[in-house]
Chains A and B, each alone.
Chain A
């Protein structure tokens, strides 16, 4: 049996509205207060925009991001919409999704998180101090301030999450780009090629491995192709299938493939996954594979007589 409540088959986002409510203890009453404060200021949001852009113009990023007036007015319009949304006092998953899109956009255009957080702080000051007209009771005003701040924090959590995700994505994309740049099929000896595989084999990389290996085999008329996987910790069926395809393809071109660096752990995993290890020639170390390759091409490596041995 399952040991925890079985989740429905709904695709839950990482930060959900429920998460945010729990984390920041945002109650329905808080949302009501946000709506109440909204009624004080939403009809004067043009004022907010004025204050905000007076500040923004002094920021170093301003000229970089708002060089054309059309974009500026579009962003101002979106911002007004955003605050309307905010002060409607609804914190549900759709709201979170809209916030995440804003975060994505900011991250994508390359606005720094520091600049973003500074703008949040300024917005808070404008909304709670400058635009406040003193019409609420003192305690009500204090409670509203607290509720609005909580909501702002909720926004910030979502946005920071979006930034983190974007950064991580960029980072992995760059790493992959680096790996892709080098599928280093190296000629180790006449007729012997070796390819060290590192990291994760995804579709573009798998295709890259296929084409560069076969191209090199055609160029060098290699007879043995060693695929060294000692730098890979996980061989799942997708990777194994691909390696199988490569070995079959090289065989068509007169080149025999050997999978080297297969640790006992990987060997066991492959067997458990049901991969037909028998159809791939494997060896535990690159050294073993090389020895076998030398035998295949009829080369013997012998010590030079008279060389002192260690």
Chain B
């Protein structure tokens, strides 16, 4: 039973809470440093998007064992303005927030599967999944 980790985001301070709690969660799953950092980066990208566009929201990490492997899910939910054109948001260099706008396409490259549900005006849910094999020591 690995449970889940949910972090509410209201301010940038919560990013460090997310880093710490998500880091501990991924360590409990027995992932090596490279996998942990990759998934942490995904979580941070999605969290920063929430703070930037929706101001508040949730990032949740969960896992599911699939034979020898573990599927790690990073899920970001907000009730922000939503994404009008999801396909466009997945294009490199697209941004409405004044940055380079590399977040979402980058995240997609870092995971095995990504799903975006967005309703303009009422919110966005991004689900990113990555299938990993924990190192043997970390299992319990």
Q: Spell out A's residues near B (CB within 8 Å).
A: 2-3, 6-7, 9-14, 168-169, 172-173, 175-176, 199-200, 202-204, 233-238, 241, 265-266, 269, 272-275
Contacts and interface: CB of A to CB of B under 8 A. Distances in A.
B47 to A, nearest CB: 9
A274 B92 contact: yes
* Contact residues on B (Cβ < 8 Å of other chain), bracket: 35 or more
Contacts of B23: 233
Contacts, number: 105
Given A2-B127, A199-B16, A236-B48, A241 B99 contact: yes
A168 B17 CA distance: 8
A10 B56 CA distance: 12
B13 interface: yes
B30 interface: no
Contacts of A238: 44, 48, 99
Given A14-B8, A272-B106, A235 B41 contact: yes
A126 B38 CA distance: 54
B69 to A, nearest CB: 14
Contact of B15 (A7, A11, A200, A269): A200
Given A172-B13, A173-B13, A200-B16, A237 B100 contact: yes
Contact of B122 (A9, A169, A172, A272): A9
Most buried by B among A6, A14, A172, A204: A172
Interface of B: 6, 8, 12-17, 19, 23, 33-34, 36-38, 40-41, 44-45, 48, 56-58, 64, 77-79, 92, 99-100, 102-103, 105-107, 109-110, 115, 117, 119, 122-125, 127
Given A12-B58, A272-B109, 6 more contacts: A234-B19, A234-B37, A236-B45, A237-B45, A265-B38, A273-B109
A176 B16 contact: yes
A273 B110 contact: yes
Nearest to B35: A265
B109 A274 contact: yes
A273 B37 contact: no
B129 to A, nearest CB: 9
A265 B115 contact: no
Contacts of A175: 16
Contact of A6 (B37, B64, B117): B117
Contacts of B56: 11
Contacts of A233: 23, 33, 36-37, 40
- 3 shortest A-B CB distances, which residue pairs? A273-B106, A9-B123, A202-B12
A143 to B, nearest CB: 33
A274 B106 contact: yes
B121 to A, nearest CB: 10
Contact of A274 (B14, B17, B105, B122): B105
Nearest to B127: A2
Nearest to B19: A200
A233 B37 CA distance: 6
Given A9-B79, A241-B99, A272-B106, A14 B6 contact: yes
Contact of A236 (B13, B41, B57): B41
6 contacts: A11-B77, A11-B78, A14-B8, A233-B36, A237-B100, A273-B45
